[in-house]
Structure 1
Amino acid sequence: MPRSAEDELADLMFRVEPQDYLDRLSEWRRSAPDELVAENVVDMGSVLPDWNLTNRARHGSKALSREALAEATSESLALLRQRGREDLVEAAQSELRALETSNLARLTRMTLSGEANTHWGNDYAAHLRRAMRRGACLVTTNPVLVNIARKENPDHWTPVRDRLREAHPNYSPAELAYAMTVQVVVANARLLRPIWELTNGTIGYVSLQLSPKKAHDAEAMVSEARWVYAQLSEQLGGTPNTVFKLPATRAGLDACCAVTAEGMGVNITVNFSLPQHIAFAGAIEANSTALVSFRTHMDGRLDDPVGEELQAAGVPDWAEVKTWCSTAIRQREYRMLCHKPQEGGLGLTKAYPLPASGRGPWNILRSVNNGPVTVFITVFPDKQAEFDSQPREISPRGMWTPLPEGTLEKLLKSKLFRMAYEPDGMSVEEFDTYLPVVRTLEQFGQGYDEFVAWVAG
């Protein structure tokens, strides 16, 4: 496979030893296209070097200093000016200024330095390199997001679709949709793979959702996971740095046991409640031979309907109260499932908590943690921009921000909240009819149907 520009840039950041970097850079930029030199300038001023080039935990005294990278950046900018590319210089400097003030970049550096234990990822099927520069080390996708991505960039994805249809004339529309999704996943997985390699497979995953139309069919989900895993293994040339999104339904629980027992990691989605977390955390802990799995908590998709119930119950400040819904559940979930037994928890370690579907900066700030189990937060691109739009105080114990006085009592006026907050708030058999589950699967199904129709032409 021919090497891409992204491969060249990744090699410089991730696969060159720090003591060799400056010489390698000097040689490379003499013949590199101006646009790539400018991209590398931004990379040097981003979080990307923290994974390898400037990482003292990995390289000790051989790690590059930020001062050395700053000098190399100045040399590259001077070279671009000599070549008459002031346009690229201005664009690179603008992005460097944004990176200097990025709260997301600061969060990642807090984690890499040991101050926090919270990583974040891109909750979208595109724009990953931009997010990685700010510290993203995870991508999560679902049919709705893949469908949006192909609408956003039809000039790229329409030819991909057409090539797949020509290459696989006997594929059904659903099979074509999977083949198309695999292309999205592979592109993102290749970008994250250097981080996955550097961290021995503990970080750097793409989360891929299986068909939401099969959310109540365990056998179909397992079969699809096996088929997609084989495709990804072939295209990535080895173990895929991917996990499969499975819904927190009754059938999803059976599929989770089977898939993880075969060494494939999962990300439990359509997940809103402590009873769901307990059931799936236990299943993963008991069955999984995979290196990494996740348990998503879809914050906004629970907070919103809880807010509707609070408003109907006459809670005057329901709009503010609902923003504490997922915070209250997360505190109880982490304390119960992740804290060590001597601290009153179960000490489960095989599935990372993953807050997602946040509606505002509070969802990020109140998910940051420095506890024993890493928290991964996925953030929509527009919410990334909002979080970075102004200075923010990031506490490494933001997860444990106390609920304002009286807030829990108000939240308990919502039946949906009570079902999600209490460990025995619902049975496994009730997962499928829980309102946020029903609503989310309906939306995912609609997005999936639209995507399949487009792929089929």
Structure 2
Amino acid sequence: MQEKDVIQQEYVHRNSRSALELFDMICGNEGAEAAHHFMFYMTGTEWKQRFEALIEILRNRYRNVDHLTRVKMLEFLTLLAIGLKSYLIHLRLVDIIGVDEIERSYLKVWNLLLESESADKDAANQLCSQLIASNAKQFEAEGISAASAESEAAILVGNKPSQYVRRVSKKITSSNFYQYSIEQKSSREKTILGNDYGEFLQYTMWLGYSFQTTNPPLIKMIWDLDRPYWSNRLLEVVAEMERSGEKLDVEKTCSLAAMIVVEKACRLLRDWFLLSEGKEGYVCFQVNPIHNGNSDAMVSEAIFVYETLSKRLKGVPNVSFKLPGTRAGLLAARVLSQKGYSLTITLNFTTFQAVEFGKVFKESKALTSYVVVMNGRLAYPVRDELATLGQNSVPNASWFAGVEVTRHIFQKFYSSEQDGGLGLDREKVKILNASLRVYGEEIPDISEIWGTPLITIFPNVRRAYDMKKRTVPVDSVVHQTEVSVMEDLKKSELFRQAWYVPQDDESFKPDKVLTLTEKDDAAVLEWLPIQQTLGQFITEYQKLRDIIEGVLATK
């Protein structure tokens, strides 16, 4: 059976969930997924019937369940109410039942929430405490101090779940990203939004995000947010797999430590993945960065994680494997892409890397794959090089280093073969812009590349971009970079190496042209942006490994 057929089959199966099954999900810590059911499934008649049936079950059972179950029911009502005010209704619900019916349904949820929080103030207070704690962590990730984050979270949540619904709904609909998602939802040239973090995915989904990336630093960061939770979760998975006969060494267990973070996000994005028939809704899993030169090890790890997630998700995993943009990564990509695995090429800063992986992905059997451009991780080394040379005559020209490389790759990827491009399908092979940075009030890593297939945004960058209302130029990725900026960037050997491939303007040819051939293996790994980024990935992976060894010692 083809992957698409398997995905469609799972969608049909999930569509048939009864109101009682949804209630069981709510009681079993799957309240977010139960709320998503009303955004992603059912025809108009089915939707109304199931909605009314579930509301009635919740109303009738609330007083007869224990305290913890009441908290879960309140949480579900809170999530559903926010969802009905979020971008998620525009995926299909507006077309299925219309805005008037959505508003009537929202009011029913809202009134039941008011009734329920009044009936058990202790349950409402406990949920508010949980919401304050999770929002405070989110605000810290956005760059706010711990004290300010706690204060801001307390103000947002208030002292009732109903207050939180009103306030967070207003915050969502005020976001530039929400507005962009609404305006571009039907455009084939839209930029898909992704969360460049391992947590706080639900909030970004309300804004219109349908992708999440992870890497070793992010996995370590998420483990540090709640180490007891992740340690217990890992031990549960390890015990389950060992009971089934799986032999696990430390390295495989480290893969599982990252996988459980990825799996949590996969489950939250699962319905989006199924609805889009595998075009959206992916979560990245990065292979062990220590194996950046070992294609066999990369392939083995990807197969292990893919097969494990297939069993756990009971279907085609909505995971995209991050491979390094090295020659070994290219060899691994050739193998895995023919298996139909979605891949994401990281440690990628250059046109020469992107073009080689683009050629591989053109023949891939995967539904979609991604080639990363790490904007900020290129811009800063270029800035430092220009400063050392005393050649930065245009203020902040380096901010456009990643932007211009993106524009160049965009042209190479999506122009027809007759026009010198690869003629790639942007739904099958997507440029993914990551490592976006806040250089100042204007954020060119976002504003200058709208129209690129996908951008993943770190929480602090999202917050900075939403500090003021912005006009979005939907096709800025095809704009020309100013000549004066290009002339300054041209003075940087790093930029020229990132931008140039043969047949390009010879004035941009670097002193040392890099390739993904065997002769340049060492030079590519020593190239400053790759060296710095890979070094950080390996360091954070080693730190996580130390944590995992400590967790395993408690078995």
Tell me the CA shift for residue 319 of structure 1. 6.1
Corresponding letter in the other structure for 1:439: Q
Corresponding letter in the other structure for 2:292: A
Work out whether 1:426 is the aligned partner of 2:514.
yes
Give the match for residue 317 of structure 2.
240
Corresponding letter in the other structure for 1:126: E
Give the match for residue 39 of structure 1.
79
Tell me the CA shift for residue 435 of structure 1. 1.3
Check the 8 A contact 1:107/1:119 in 2, yes or no: no
The runs of 5 or more residues in structure 1 that have no matched partner are 57-62
Q: Percent identity between the aligned chains?
A: 27
Tell me the CA shift for residue 348 of structure 1. 1.6
Structure 1 residues 195-206: aligned runs within 5 Å: 195-206=272-283
Structure 1 residues 8-17 or 106-115, which shifts more?
A: 106-115
In 2, the alpha carbon distance for the partners of 1:11 and 1:195 equals: 10
Q: Secondary structure at the match of 2:209?
A: coil
Give the match for residue 13 of structure 1.
39
Check the 8 A contact 1:245/1:268 in 2, yes or no: yes
Give the match for residue 408 of structure 2.
332
Q: Secondary structure at the match of 2:471?
A: coil
Structure 1 residues 316-327: aligned runs within 5 Å: 316=392, 320-327=396-403
Distance 1:160 1:405, change over 3 A: same
Q: Secondary structure at the match of 2:432?
A: strand
Q: Secondary structure at the match of 2:97?
A: coil
TM-score (norm 1): 0.92
Give the match for residue 384 of structure 1.
462
Give the match for residue 211 of structure 1.
288
Check the 8 A contact 2:394/2:485 in 1, yes or no: no
Tell me the CA shift for residue 216 of structure 1. 0.6
Give the match for residue 102 of structure 2.
69
Q: Secondary structure at the match of 1:73?
A: helix
Structure 1 residues 433-452: aligned runs within 5 Å: 433-452=526-545
Q: Cα RMSD over matched residues? A: 2.1
Check the 8 A contact 1:137/1:204 in 2, yes or no: yes
Tell me the CA shift for residue 16 of structure 1. 2.6
TM-score (norm 2): 0.76
Give the match for residue 160 of structure 1.
233
In 2, the alpha carbon distance for the partners of 1:81 and 1:434 equals: 59
Corresponding letter in the other structure for 1:161: L
In 2, the alpha carbon distance for the partners of 1:345 and 1:79 equals: 57
Structure 1 residues 420-429 or 206-215, which shifts more?
A: 420-429
Work out whether 1:407 is the aligned partner of 2:407.
no
Tell me the CA shift for residue 116 of structure 1. 4.4
Distance 1:427 1:14, change over 3 A: same
In 1, the alpha carbon distance for the partners of 2:349 and 2:226 equals: 32
Give CA deviations for 1:281-333 in whole Å, capped at 9, x if unaligned: 112224x1111110011111111101110111113567611111111111111
Check the 8 A contact 1:275/1:427 in 2, yes or no: yes
Q: Secondary structure at the match of 2:406?
A: helix
In 1, the alpha carbon distance for the partners of 2:407 and 2:234 equals: 44
Distance 1:115 1:98, change over 3 A: farther
Corresponding letter in the other structure for 1:426: L
Check the 8 A contact 1:192/1:205 in 2, yes or no: yes
In 2, the alpha carbon distance for the partners of 1:163 and 1:256 equals: 32
Distance 1:95 1:244, change over 3 A: same
Tell me the CA shift for residue 101 of structure 1. 1.1
Structure 1 residues 43-52 or 72-81, which shifts more?
A: 72-81
Q: Secondary structure at the match of 1:64?
A: helix
Corresponding letter in the other structure for 2:31: A
Tell me the CA shift for residue 21 of structure 1. 2.6
Tell me the CA shift for residue 377 of structure 1. 0.7
Q: Secondary structure at the match of 2:284?
A: strand
Give CA deviations for 1:338-380 in whole Å, capped at 9, x if unaligned: 12335553212242110011003321222211xxxx6011111
Give the match for residue 311 of structure 1.
387
Corresponding letter in the other structure for 2:380: D
In 1, the alpha carbon distance for the partners of 2:75 and 2:256 equals: 31
Give the match for residue 59 of structure 1.
none
Structure 1 residues 268-287: aligned runs within 5 Å: 268-286=345-363
Give the match for residue 366 of structure 1.
448
Matching residue within 110, 116, 138 for 2:211 = 138
Give the match for residue 60 of structure 1.
none
Structure 1 residues 163-182: aligned runs within 5 Å: 163-164=236-237, 166-167=239-240, 171-182=248-259
Q: Secondary structure at the match of 1:255?
A: helix
Q: Secondary structure at the match of 2:391?
A: coil
Structure 1 residues 109-118 or 415-424, which shifts more?
A: 109-118
Structure 1 residues 305-314 or 21-30, which shifts more?
A: 21-30
The runs of 5 or more residues in structure 2 that have no matched partner are 1-20, 59-72, 119-123, 125-158, 503-512, 551-555
State how many pairs are aligned. Answer: 445
Give CA deviations for 1:372-401 in whole Å, capped at 9, x if unaligned: xx6011111221222222211111112134
Tell me the CA shift for residue 189 of structure 1. 1.0
Considering only CA atoms, is the larger Rg found in Structure 1 or Structure 2? 2
